[in-house]
Amino acid sequence: MTGQDLKRARLALGFTLYDMARALRLSGGREAAVKHLRTMEAGARDVSGPVSRVVQALQDGWRPPGWPDSEA
Of 13 and 63, more confident? 13
Q: Is the dihedral of CA 32, 29, 69, 51 positive or negative?
A: positive
Phi, psi for 16 (deg, rounded to 5): -75, 170
What is the three-class DSSP state of 43?
coil
End-to-end CA distance of the chain: 27
Q: Convert the pLDDT of each residue in 10-44 to its tens digit.
A: 999 999 999 999 999 999 999 999 999 999 999 99
Phi, psi for 15 (deg, rounded to 5): -90, 140
Of 9 and 71, more confident? 9
Per-residue model confidence (pLDDT) at position 72? 46
